[in-house]
Amino acid sequence: MSLQDYRLTLSSVIIEPNWTSSPETLHGVVSYASPYDDVPVEQFNNYQHVVDQDFANDYILKYFSSFSKVKSNSIDTGLLSPGLKAIGTNYIIFEKPPCFKNIFYVPSSKHEVTEGLENQHIFRIPIPWQLYFVKFNKDMYTYEVRMFFMKTSLTSVDQELFLPSLPNFYTNAMLCPPTMDKMDDVDRYSKNHAGVMQCAYDWVWNSGTNHDLTEACLQVPFQLNQNDSILKHLPQLIYDNYFKYDGISSRHSSRYSANFKQIVHLFTAWEKSSLFEVCNLSWPNISGSKSNFSYHDIESDIEGYYDHLYNFISDQDEDQSLNEDDINYMIENGDYNSEDYYRYLRANNLIPSLPPVPWEKTYLYSDILPDLIKSVHSDLGYFNSNLAHDINCINLNT
């Protein structure tokens, strides 16, 4: 038997309901021919088969489901908590209203967190509307969570989404997945959409917070005026000391990584805000599809940026150990502290104007979600079906 012999025939018998009410007379029929004829189905000649009616009904429904206006799910969702905004084959989008949440912050990285959590700080902070984008695999296991802040409940695809200023988030609002000690922590959620929602929520709020990924926190002082943000509750002296923006970074941090005290001050100020206030304050913009804000392009865009680099490096070389070739080598390889150089340029008034900032763009729901939904396809490697595949699937399932 050759490939040419593949044949799949799907038929459905419609009985006019006005002259019969017998449900048995309504049926779907799937018959097929394939090179694999050692299957336990009824045969009506040498190699053609017809499957039983229940399987046929289900098969035909699924076979044509992609032509429906509303896509169907492979399983029932389970009882969902309110707030579902969109649902797809392997993703779910839902929102949660403003509320107070406890943050259990441990000022160490994931690998340094000790069992006793002696250094744990607990903050009770008000949070605004949140939108969650969750990816899950075909077995209904959550594998990626994003959370955005919003000023109101999501009512339109043109609504703005903001960055949650919390540790463990990339600046594209993706959560660094928590590490689970026990398989039970991974497996305890029901294997449906309700379970996925619960799991995503727990990943964000009930898995602890450590000092990994703090760039999102730094975006508050970088992007916003003090009085428009939760930092308005900080004493001026502390704000000036820890968060004052001097172009790209403050004295106390790099652009990508906050120090422990900055995080504590941020949460201390945040705790002093009311629920009403956080719903009306400004929040930072996200970095689009990139997981970090990129400053490199900005620097190279500044006219005359490199003109003073040689002098900067040689000024830094207090014991004059570098020769000209060494300095040129360092310039070529970017082997210098770019933040210090940036401060040097500003302090000596060597650049004409402030550079553009990478967070100028505000992202809407409709800007972000199309690519995120597409990314699910590439994550899971969706298989393109064809006739041979469909027939083999029947063989496997009958």
Partner 1 sequence: MEQLIFDIKQEESTFYNFTTEIPRSWKDLQYYAKSAGVVVPFYHKLTIKKVFTIPTSNFYQLKNKLSLDSFKNHILPMAVRYITKDNVYVIERPPFQLEVDYRLGGAHSYNSKMPPVKIWVPWTVMIFSANSLMNGDFSNVKLYFNSGPLDSLDQQLVTCFYPNTHSDAKICFSTSLNDFNNILDLSQIEQGNIGYIYNYIFNNYMMGGWNSDLSQNLFDNFRSVDQDIINKNCPTISLFLNPTSDPVFYKKLSLVFPKKYFGRIKRYFLDKVNLRSISREKYYARNFGIFAAFTLEQTIDFIKEIQYIISSKNSYNKPTLDNILKNFNSNLVYFDSSVSNPISGIGLVTKILHPSIEYDYLQCKVDLFVINDTEHDPREYYDKQALLPLNILSEMNYKLIDFLNTRQSDEHIAFIYDYSSNTFDVILNYDSKEYIKDIVLSAHSGISQYCEDNPSKPNTYALKSWIMKLDERIEQYQQLAAV
Judged by CB under 8 A, the chain residues 173 through 212 that form the site for partner 1 are 193
Q: Which stretch binds partner 1 (CB under 8 A): 73-81, 259-267, 341-349, 355-363?
A: 73-81
The nearer residue to partner 1, 168 or 395, going by C-beta atoms, is 395
**Assigned token pair, 283:** 């929040």
Task: Assess 72 for contact with partner 1 (CB under 8 A).
Answer: yes
The nearer residue to partner 1, 65 or 114, going by C-beta atoms, is 65
The Cβ of residue 302 has, within 10 Å, a number of other Cβ atoms equal to 16
Report d(CA 340, CA 229) in Å as an integer. Answer: 27
Report d(CA 119, CA 384) in Å as an integer. Answer: 51
Task: List strands edge to edge, sheet with 142-150.
Answer: 84-87, 91-96, 129-136, 142-150
Binding mask 76-115 for partner 1 (x = CB under 8 A): xxxxx-xxxxxxxxxx-x----------------------
Among candidates 138, 133, 142, which has minimal Cα distance to 196? 142
With CB under 8 A as the contact rule, the residue among 1, 27, 195, 322 that binds partner 1 is: 27
Binders of partner 1 in range 272-311 (CB under 8 A): none
The nearer residue to partner 1, 97 or 208, going by C-beta atoms, is 97
Report d(CA 377, CA 264) in Å as an integer. Answer: 39
Task: Assess 397 for contact with partner 1 (CB under 8 A).
Answer: no
Binding mask 228-267 for partner 1 (x = CB under 8 A): ----------------------------------------
Buried b (16+ CB within 10 A) or exposed e, 228-258: ebbbbbbeeeebebbbeeeebbbeebbbeeb
**Assigned token pair, 42:** 């009824």
The nearer residue to partner 1, 44 or 306, going by C-beta atoms, is 44
Report d(CA 299, CA 371) in Å as an integer. Answer: 28
The nearer residue to partner 1, 56 or 204, going by C-beta atoms, is 56
Report d(CA 133, CA 355) in Å as an integer. Answer: 33
Task: Assess 384 for contact with partner 1 (CB under 8 A).
Answer: yes
- Work out the angle between the directed axes of helices 309-316 and 324-332 (0-180°, nearest 10): 120
Task: Assess 156 for contact with partner 1 (CB under 8 A).
Answer: yes
Task: Assess 152 for contact with partner 1 (CB under 8 A).
Answer: no
The minimum distance between CB 6 and partner 1, in angstroms, equals 5
The nearer residue to partner 1, 46 or 320, going by C-beta atoms, is 46
Binders of partner 1 in range 39-68 (CB under 8 A): 42, 44-45, 48, 50, 52-53, 56-57, 60-61, 63-68
Report d(CA 83, CA 131) in Å as an integer. Answer: 9
Binding mask 112-151 for partner 1 (x = CB under 8 A): ----------------------------------------
User: How many residues bind partner 1, per CB under 8 A?
Assistant: 80
Unique residue bearing structure tokens 């913009």: 285
Q: Which stretch binds partner 1 (CB under 8 A): 110-118, 203-211, 333-341, 384-392?
A: 384-392
The nearer residue to partner 1, 66 or 348, going by C-beta atoms, is 66
Unique residue bearing structure tokens 């000690």: 181
Contact in structure between 220 and 231 (CB atoms under 8 Å)? yes
Buried b (16+ CB within 10 A) or exposed e, 5-34: ebebeeeeeeeeeeeeeeeeeebbbbbbbb
Task: Assess 380 for contact with partner 1 (CB under 8 A).
Answer: no
The minimum distance between CB 153 and partner 1, in angstroms, equals 8
Binding mask 330-359 for partner 1 (x = CB under 8 A): ------------------------------
